[in-house]
Amino acid sequence: MLETPTDSVTSPNRCFKSYKGCRYYQDRGDEKEGLEIYQESVEQEVKFYPRVNVMETPVDSSCEHYKPMRTQRGFVAYCEILGRVLTVSNAEMCNKHWQTCPLRGSA
């Protein structure tokens, strides 16, 4: 880093064409910036309505996109294709008719 500011860093004839070739350029490599820092470490908050989405006992499905989750109030089913929590009736249909689900073909 420079101790004092100079025009050599901002001089148009030095750095505009290839800023990576500038002697003052510092390559940060794969260092993440801004929100990228938090995306891997923050779990997605799953929002649902207890009366519609919560099951007392978990419903299973053989679909690879179906993810049962335990919550404080019971169990919910999450569909990775839709990106949301399924209703109880959707979870039951996913259990019975997972092979003919029209969404599986679009994934």
Model confidence at 51: pLDDT above 60: yes
Q: Position 72: which residue type? A: Q
Model confidence at 10: pLDDT above 80: no
Model confidence at 40: pLDDT above 70: no
Q: Compute CA distances 71 → 24, 45, 48, 87, whole Å.
A: 52, 12, 10, 14
Q: Give me the pLDDT at residue 41, please.
A: 41
Predicted TM-score of the model (pTM)? 0.55
In whole numbers, what is the pLDDT of the chain averaged over residues?
78
For the ranges 16-25, 38-47, 86-95, the one whose mean pLDDT is highest: 86-95
Higher pLDDT, 83 or 27: 83
The Cα 39–Cα 83 span in angstroms is 16
Mean local confidence (pLDDT), 21-49: 63
